Each structure stands twice: as C-alpha cells, then as structure tokens.
C-alpha cells in the first residue's frame, strides 16, 4: 500500500492551489495530488469563462477575490519572469432594472467598504460612457474601474502545476473510487485501478464531483454539477472599452480576443444536476433567449455570426451558492474546498491558502474563512451570495 501524509482529490485549480500553498506555508510531508483527467478536458477550470470580479454581495467573497488579484499583480515575483496569464483588466458592468436597483446599491455599499473600485451610475452616465449600450429598462449599473476582468485559465492552471513540479508534489493519475473511514477518520483512499493510498488527511477538491467524493466517506455535501453553456460569436463592430457586461436577465457577454463570448440565463425552474457526461451546449438557449436579449441590449449585436460553443459544469452548492471551506466537524481530517458555484477559478488561490493555513498552523491567518465552514451545511443555515453569474 502506498502512503501520503496528505491526499488531495482533484488536481485542477483548487487542488493545485492547496498543494502549492501547503508548500508555501512550510508543509514538508508527502502530498499526493490525484487527478482522473490529467489533460483537464472536462474540468470546470478549463471550461470556465475565466473572469475575476470584486462585485459580490458579501465581504468574505470580495476578500477572496482581492487576494487573487494581489497574486495576479505579483505573478512574476511569485512564478517567474515569464509568468503571464493575459489578464485584461476591463471591469465588469452589472446592470439592474428598477426591480434590482436596491440590491445593486446595497452590494455596491458592501464593495466600497471593502475598498473595491466600483462606481454606480444611472442610465444617462452609462450611455455616455458606453455609447454602444441601450439603457432602456436600466435603472443603474455598477462598473469596476479596477481589479476586474478576464484571463487565460489554462495559463493560470499551468503556473500552479509547474510550480508543484519543483515542490515535490506527487501527481497521481487515477480516479478515486472509495474512501475508507476508521474510528471516525478518513484513513485510506482507493483508486479504480485497485491501488490504495494510506493517508492522514484527505482534501476534497473534486469540483462538480465533490458531492460524490464526500459520499465515499459517508459525508453529505450539497454540491452537484450544473451545466453552463458558453457561446462564441463574431460581430462586425469591436468595442475596445467593453467590460464583462451582465444584463438584468443574467446573460453576460465579454470580448475574447477578436470574438465575443456569452452565456447565462439558464432557467431557474429547469436548472438541475447535470449528468456527469453531459457537455452538450444548450443551443436553443442561445437562439431563443441569449441572442435576442443581447441584440436588444447592444444593437450592434443584431447582426452577428455564431461560432463554436462549449459547456462546463458549475460546482453548484444547492444550499447557498457559496464555497464550503474547512474540515468536517466530526471527521476532522477530511477537508472540503468545494461548492464555489461559478466563482471558484478566481477564489482558488485564497481558498487554497486558507486550507493550507488550517492544516499547517491550525488557524486561518490571511483571510478568516470560518463563515464558509461546513457547520452551516450541517445546521442548514445558508450563507448566501446574491451575485451569482
Ligand atoms: C461555464 C463556466 C464558467 C465559469 N466562469 C467562471 C469565471 O468567470 N470565474 C470564476 O472564478 N469561476 C468560473 N467558473 C467556476 C470555476 O470554473 C470553478 O468554480 C472552479 O474551476 C472550480 O475548480 P476546481 O478545481 O474545484 O474544479 P475542477 O476544475 O472541476 O477540478 C476538479 C477536478 O477533480 C477531478 N476529479 C473529480 N472527481 C475525481 C475523482 N473521483 N478522482 C480523481 N479526480 C477527480 C476532476 O477530473 C477535475 O479535474 C465557471 C465554471 C463554468 C462551468
């Protein structure tokens, strides 16, 4: 039987970040980072919209993203002078109708208190800032002057993976199929190959599959895969000042090089767990909902050329659409870092560091993540994020 002091299940951005910060915090023991899909063809990390924002509704989420922003600013010092993730700091523009104005204003207050450079503007100011925008039905918009934008998810993941190679982390290619529990502690992880790894700590970084991985240890975690489609299109007009725009309908659009990507607006009543193999983009959603809405909001998008599309899975926390970070209160050597519900790419470094601090120092040192703890799940006490895109 193989042995590892720490086993991390899932080697994409969350698992890699945890391993990276364990070493940064001085953990010298053995780490096995287990990944079933070594090219990350189906991971949320590589299928995401790869964007970062400050515009959340609760301070803790803003702090997690601000930590990552600091890491972006510090990339070369941390990962070497060739480190580049193509960060385009173009902002988010979140639009609200009259019905959503109060929430937008409230969120803006929270963001300002956290030092985020977000401005709130009415329809006229928005139109003169972005003349291509139709502000009909818009009561207000919140626009990020700094600290928001998009980047290359593959390059970002590769930076962490490359750093791990120099930090003696064992990359194990395999699928975890079982977790043995002895005297209330997770003790052995079994792979579908039959191989077993004895361990002192198990960390669940399995993204949309985290609910199933928790169940292997007999634990309940309300995280399931929810399919989200992303559509690429071309348009004749290019708007170099265009932020990531979120319409009141929930539909988002942003430039991606010479094209645009768009998504959002999955119907609430039909939103349910996706089959683990279902990566088929929802084309009717684009044709019947997204495109007509976009053409109304940005008249230049009435004539577009649709391109390719893909679908990924949100690591969706059905209780409150927020991360679950920290140990299980009764199985203290089983840690969760799951349920980011569409904002995990940008929060992975902060969450990874938080888990590393707990394991190495026994307490959070950089950002207090206690509010994200599993206790709220056990007590059915939602800690809700309102800005889910
Ligand atoms: C369409 C879309 C758009 C998104 N846009 C954004 C965005 O703009 N900004 C943002 O911050 N976030 C965004 N997200 C969310 C973000 O991608 C995720 O929250 C984040 O990538 C989660 O990282 P992860 O490492 O936990 O999960 P994943 O990237 O899914 O990685 C989990 C890994 O665990 C592995 N695994 C699972 N089960 C097992 C097992 N039993 N054995 C071994 N390995 C296993 C998987 O193969 C996978 O590689 C988006 C997601 C989607 C789908």
The confidence score (pLDDT) of residue 314 equals: 97
**334-338 and 324-327 strand pairing:** antiparallel
| Ligand 1 environment, Cβ below 6 A | 9-10, 12-15, 34-37, 40, 43-45, 47-51, 175-176, 205-209, 213, 228, 230, 312-315, 340, 342-346, 348
Nearest CA to ligand 1 atom 51: 48
Reported as a single tens digit per residue, the pLDDT across 205-231 is: 999 999 999 999 999 999 999 999 999
Q: Give yes or no for residue 269 having a pLDDT over 80.
A: no
Say whether 383 sits in a helix, a strand or coil: coil
Separation of alpha carbons 343 and 53, rounded Å: 9
pLDDT value, residue 191: 98
Mean pLDDT of 38-48: 97
Dist. CA 358–CA 352, nearest whole Å? 10
Q: Cα(first)–Cα(last) distance of the chain, in Å?
A: 44
- Give the confidence band of 265 by pLDDT, cuts at 50, 70, 90: confident
Looking at the predicted structure, is the pLDDT value of residue 95 above 90? yes
Verdict on whether the full-model pTM lies above 0.85: yes
Alpha-carbon separation of residue 266 from 17, 24, 55, 204 (angstroms): 30, 39, 21, 27
Question: What distance in Å separates the CA atoms of residue 231 and residue 292, rounded to the nearest whole number?
Answer: 14
Q: What's the confidence (pLDDT) of residue 250?
A: 95
Residue 386 is predicted with a pLDDT of: 86
Work out the mean pLDDT of the chain and round it to a whole number. Answer: 97
Give the tokens for residue 49: 């919209």
CA distance 314 to 323: 12
For 138-180, the pLDDT digits (tens) are 999 999 999 999 999 999 999 999 999 999 999 999 999 999 9
Mutate to test the pocket of ligand 1, among 45, 244, 389 (most ligand atoms within 8 A of CB): 45
- Best CA proximity match to 257, nearest among 307, 293, 302, 303: 307
Report which ligand 1 atom has the smallest distance to the Cα of 208: 30
Q: 10 C-alpha to center of ligand 1: Å?
A: 9
Tell me, in angstroms, the distance from the centre of ligand 1 to residue 45's CA. 4
The region, left, alpha or beta by phi > 0 then psi within -120 to 50, assigned to residue 181 is beta
CB 50 within 8 A of CB 152: yes
């Amino acid at each position: 039987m193989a042995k590892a002091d720490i086993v991390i299940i899932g080697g994409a951005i969350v698992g890699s970040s945890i391993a990276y910060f364990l070493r940064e915090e001085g953990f010298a023991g053995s780490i096995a980072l287990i990944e079933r899909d070594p090219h990350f063809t189906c991971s949320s990390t590589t299928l995401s919209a790869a964007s970062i924002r400050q515009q959340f509704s609760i301070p803790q989420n803003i702090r997690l993203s601000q930590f990552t922003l600091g890491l972006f600013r510090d990339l070369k010092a941390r990962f070497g002078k060739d480190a580049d993730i193509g960060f385009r700091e173009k902002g988010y523009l979140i639009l609200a109708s009259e019905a959503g104005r109060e929430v937008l204003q409230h969120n803006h207050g929270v963001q300002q208190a956290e030092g985020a450079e977000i401005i709130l503007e009415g329809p006229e100011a928005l139109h003169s800032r972005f003349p291509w925008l139709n502000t009909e039905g818009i009561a207000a918009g919140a626009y990020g002057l700094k600290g928001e934008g998009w980047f290359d998810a593959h390059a970002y993941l590769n930076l962490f993976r490359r750093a791990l190679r120099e930090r003696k982390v064992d990359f194990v290619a395999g699928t975890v199929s079982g977790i043995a529990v002895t005297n209330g502690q997770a003790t052995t992880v079994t792979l579908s190959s039959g191989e077993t790894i004895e361990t002192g700590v198990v960390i669940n970084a399995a993204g949309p599959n985290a609910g199933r991985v928790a169940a292997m240890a007999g634990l309940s975690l309300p995280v399931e895969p929810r399919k989200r489609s992303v559509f690429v299109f071309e348009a004749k007009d290019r708007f170099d000042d265009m932020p990531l725009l979120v319409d009141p309908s929930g539909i988002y659009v942003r430039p991606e090089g010479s094209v645009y990507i768009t998504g959002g607006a999955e119907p609430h009543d039909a939103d349910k767990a996706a089959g683990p193999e279902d990566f088929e983009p929802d084309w009717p959603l684009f044709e019947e909902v997204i495109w007509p809405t976009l053409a109304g909001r940005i008249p230049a998008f009435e004539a577009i050329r649709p391109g390719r599309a893909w679908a990924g899975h949100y690591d969706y926390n059905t209780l409150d659409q927020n991360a679950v970070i920290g140990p299980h209160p009764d199985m203290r050597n089983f840690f969760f870092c799951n349920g980011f519900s569409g904002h995990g790419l940008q929060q992975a470094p902060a969450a990874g560091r938080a888990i590393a601090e707990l394991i190495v120092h026994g307490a959070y040192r950089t950002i207090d993540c206690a509010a994200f703890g599993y206790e709220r799940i056990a007590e059915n006490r939602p800690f809700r994020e309102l800005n889910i895109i």
